[in-house]
Amino acid sequence: QITLKESGPTLVKPTQTLTLTCTFSGFSLITNGAGVGWIRQPPGKALEWLALIYWDDDKRYSPSLKSSLTITKDTSKNQVVLKMTNMDPVDTGTYYCAHKTNSGFDHWGQGTLVTVSS
């Protein structure tokens, strides 16, 4: 059974760096084709893809946020970490991590609400 869970601060100040951790079980990020992605959702708005890391350490980023995002994996801990620098109030929202294969994002975490405010 695949599960994912996001963790990190619920409140960050503008200009600070956000670090979110996705801890997963039920799959390995050394398995051919496996990936973990981050998707966010501002309150009341649509989903937005942020970043993706694959089993072979291939990393993809949203171009509009690429300069502020870093995604890494720790296969020994079954974790994927997303760092986002220079946070702004417009970055407030729920951040999800999700397991990805060629069959889509088939398992999602519960999400974590991050508020950016001074």
Partner 1 sequence: DIVMTQSPFSLPVTPGEPASISCRSSQSLLHNNGYNYLDWYLQKPGQSPQLLIFLGSNRASGVPDRFSGSGSGTDFTLKISRVEAEDVGVYYCMQTRQTPLTFGGGTRVEIK
Report, in Å, the least distance between residue 4 CB and partner 1: 9
Report, in Å, the least distance between residue 26 CB and partner 1: 13
Report, in Å, the least distance between residue 31 CB and partner 1: 17
Q: Which residue lies nearer to partner 1 by CB, 15 or 110?
A: 110
Residue 49 CB contacts under 8 Å (≥ 6 apart), including other chains: 37, 38, 39, 62
Q: Which residue lies nearer to partner 1 by CB, 24 or 96?
A: 96
Q: Which residue lies nearer to partner 1 by CB, 15 or 72?
A: 72
Backbone CA torsion sign across 61, 28, 75, 79: positive
42 close to 114: Cβ distance less than 8 angstroms: no
